[in-house]
Amino acid sequence: MTAPSPQLVFDTLLAYQRSAALVTAIELDLFRAIADGPGDAASLGRQCGASERGTRILCDYLTVIGLLDKADGHYRNTPTSALFLDSQSPAYMGQGARFLCHAQLREPFQHLTEIVRTGRTVLPDHGTARVDNPSWVEFARSMTGITGPSAAPMAEMVLEGCSGPLRVLDIAAGHGLFGIAIAKRNPEARIVALDSAEVLAVARENAQREGVGDRYEELPGDAFEVDFKGPYDIVLLTNFLHHFDPPTCTVLLRKIRAAMRPGGTLAALDFVPNDDRVSPPPAASFSLVMLATTEAGDAYTLRELEAMYRASAFDHVAARTVPTGPGTVVTGRAV
Amino acid sequence: MTAPSPQLVFDTLLAYQRSAALVTAIELDLFRAIADGPGDAASLGRQCGASERGTRILCDYLTVIGLLDKADGHYRNTPTSALFLDSQSPAYMGQGARFLCHAQLREPFQHLTEIVRTGRTVLPDHGTARVDNPSWVEFARSMTGITGPSAAPMAEMVLEGCSGPLRVLDIAAGHGLFGIAIAKRNPEARIVALDSAEVLAVARENAQREGVGDRYEELPGDAFEVDFKGPYDIVLLTNFLHHFDPPTCTVLLRKIRAAMRPGGTLAALDFVPNDDRVSPPPAASFSLVMLATTEAGDAYTLRELEAMYRASAFDHVAARTVPTGPGTVVTGRAV
């Protein structure tokens, strides 16, 4: 039993300031300036085009919340900020801040009390689940650094024991990196990427940059409505099921099953909390985002996902966590 | 050296959701409903007039961030939430959420990049430092539960070695509890409370409720302009100096000194970081609030405050932390 702490209440009420401070530091490219040195507030202010007062107070705050170190009036990146927040790092996550702190994602949290009362988002038109929601283009452009690191491990998992020609459907492709990772590992894989036409333009750019553009086909539309043009050996369903309620998910899974070869693999990547729904923290806390931004979405437990899979004629349901992100890959075999 | 963690970056970017979840739980009086039991989402939803879906997801999220416990689908208050967030607890802090998450306090954080660039608030008219800023009435009404617990310990510190008739000036009185605490401990103390007329109405209510209304006088106005009507034995300056730059603070301290009897005590309550300006966290992180909401305010170190005191003819400068809050009482003796 922990002693009561008013500080936890203060910290929670004021937590919005943490988000704001980090977004500002990313916008100023502060972590890059710190890596360049010399790291005192006056120099950093000049490097970032910012006032010395503002820079000093921002850097002190970032030190307090553990994103910088400070000694003798000079700031240094922590291992975390050097790897993920320096814009020259290959693992840079700064672009993702634009999505995670996107006004459209933040706005519903200003109305969270009404949302909890009614049990559904205040956003119009089914919230973020709409395929033509303009924020998905932003998502596709900005989330490469955040969801991208899961693409390679997911491809390894999905391709295990598979070789030769494969036809792959990548539903809600977004930046396309999940399908592209498969195409890069299997030179005979052909990818059909499904998303809105605007988002697919981003995926196509990425496919061409990664040298798999000649095996990359676009299928613009809504996953619930468009003809999938199967059959497929592999279907990817990344960060998608959580937008819908279980009956809707099951409708989609049945449609997917009907477009697959028997024995083919469906692989969803999703936030999968334990049965207690309060662990592990990243997956469990994701439910609140779905409450705020969708009509009836949720982070589903493996038990719930397995029930949806089985009801849609998938068996051999298995889950593996992705070491590089908060996601879990849930595979099923088309019966 | 800690291993790099993308989770810290995610958690920081999404921290605004923590503030929103707690504000909503306070608005729904959820912690009271949980104390009443039985604590399952369906019952809590009925008790709070909220949907079961929204209530479950909110309670799970509050569990993830450490403000609830969950077992077998039933939620319980933690020691912290039972003491500070149950609206029937004498230490309830929920009203303070209205100030700490007040739209006027949050709004500048949406423009923090511009603020760091320019080094000053985007709020008009000197930001929150304006005496007639309407949020100070909200502050006076709502912060009793948050700053109030510091009033009794501060009164003990200030009255140490003092007895008999005392004339006390309480600058920026707000809810008035600091002056009232002195009046309650010394039956011969007379309090002059200075703030805007609207805020003083709140202080007067509190003084009457606490039975010291007959020794409570109101002095409406701006501390920089109004005639203090000294001499005073004790001057209280609680949570005020941080709104201004050191030269402005010194102007005020000299005006205060001129209204005091030699040997009298000036006692400021403030957020006082260590010389490193990044510890302790509650005091150090407060600078960012002053950056966001004032022209030139800051959380001052003891060394900086001592320099201002000495330049204004105070000596015997001493600092003592308040056990019940993040503040430090800095006393000085009028030379």
How close, in Å, is residue B311 to chain A by CA atoms? Answer: 23
Three-class DSSP category at A278:
coil
Of B13, B50, B63, nearest to A101 by CB-CB distance is B13
Retrieve residue B275's tokens.
């010389």
Residue A98 has pLDDT above 80, yes or no: no
Condensed to tens digits (0 to 9), the pLDDT of residues B262-319 reads 999 999 999 999 999 999 999 999 999 999 999 999 999 999 999 999 999 999 999 9
Token pair listed for A173: 């492709």
pLDDT tens profile B187-244: 999 999 999 999 999 999 999 999 999 999 999 999 999 999 999 999 999 999 999 9
**Which pLDDT value is given to residue B2?**
63
Mean per-residue pLDDT, A288-317: 96
Q: Hey, are the CB atoms on B112 and A284 less than 8 Å from each other?
A: no
Whether B4 shows a pLDDT value over 60: the answer reads yes
Q: Residue A113 and residue B24: Cβ atoms within 8 Å? A: yes
Domains of chain B in sequence order: 6-92 (1.10.10.10), 127-334 (3.40.50.150)
pLDDT at A194 over 70: yes
Check pLDDT > 70 for residue B133: no
DSSP B150: G
At residue A105 the predicted structure's pLDDT band, cuts being 50, 70 and 90, is confident
pLDDT band at B325; cut points 50, 70, 90: confident
**Average pLDDT, whole number, for chain A?**
93
User: What is the pLDDT, as a whole number, of residue A96?
Assistant: 82
Long-range contacts (CB closer than 8 Å, 24 or more residues apart) made by A69-78 = A70/B276, A70/B277, A70/B278, A73/A40, A73/A41, A74/A38, A74/A39, A74/A40, A75/A34, A75/A39, A75/A40, A75/A41, A75/A44, A76/A34, A76/A39, A77/A31, A77/A34, A77/A35, A78/B2, A78/B4
Please check whether residue A176 is in contact with residue A170, taking contact to mean a CB–CB distance below 8 angstroms.
yes
**CA of A319, closest CA in chain B: separation in Å?**
21
**The predicted structure's pLDDT at residue A146:** 80
User: How many angstroms separate the CA atoms of A313 and A306, rounded?
Assistant: 11
* CB-CB neighbors (< 8 A) of B279 in chain A: 64
| Residue-wise pLDDT tens digits, A63-76 | 999 999 999 999 99
Mean pLDDT along residues B54-77: 98
Q: Which of the residue ranges A176-180, B143-147, B162-166 would you say has the lowest mean pLDDT? A: B143-147
Chain B environment of A79 (Cβ under 8 Å): 1-4
Say whether pLDDT at A182 is over 70.
yes
Of A54-63, A176-185, A196-205, B101-110, the range with the lowest mean pLDDT is B101-110
> pLDDT-based confidence at B129, cuts 50/70/90?
low
Packing angle of the helix pair B246-258, B302-311 (nearest 10 deg):
50
CA distance A173 to A219: 10
**Confidence class for position A7, pLDDT limits 50, 70, 90:** confident
Place of tokens 């409406």: B220
Least confident range from A80-94, B52-66, B99-113: namely B99-113
Contact A2 B53 (CB under 8 A): no
* pLDDT for the residue A3: 77
Residues B139, B174: contact at Cβ < 8 Å?
yes
Residue A161, pLDDT score: 82
pLDDT given for residue B126 in this prediction: 65
Per-residue pLDDT, averaged over A72-86, amounts to 97
| Residues in chain B closer than 8 A to A22 (CB atoms) | 9, 12-13
A181-185, A320-324, B315-319: segment of lowest average pLDDT: A320-324
pLDDT digits (tens, 9 = 90+) for B89-110: 998 998 888 778 877 788 899 9
**Mean pLDDT in residue range B44-49:** 98
Q: pLDDT tens for residues A135-156?
A: 778 778 877 888 888 999 999 9
DSSP code at position B121: -
Query: Which backbone phi and psi does A92 adopt, to 5 degrees?
Result: -50, 130
Whether chain A has a CB inside 8 Å of the CB on B2: the answer is yes
Residue A230 CA to residue A148 CA, distance in Å, equals: 26
Instruction: Please tell me which residue of chain A has the smallest CA distance to B59.
Output: A278
> From the candidates B5, B7, B11, B17, which should be mutated to test the interface with A, based on the most A CB atoms within 10 A?
B17
What is residue B167's DSSP assignment?
A: E
Which of A121-135, B110-124, B195-209 has the least mean pLDDT? A121-135
Q: Above 80 in pLDDT, residue A77?
A: yes
pLDDT of residue B101: 80
> Nearest CA of chain A to the CA of B13: how many Å?
4
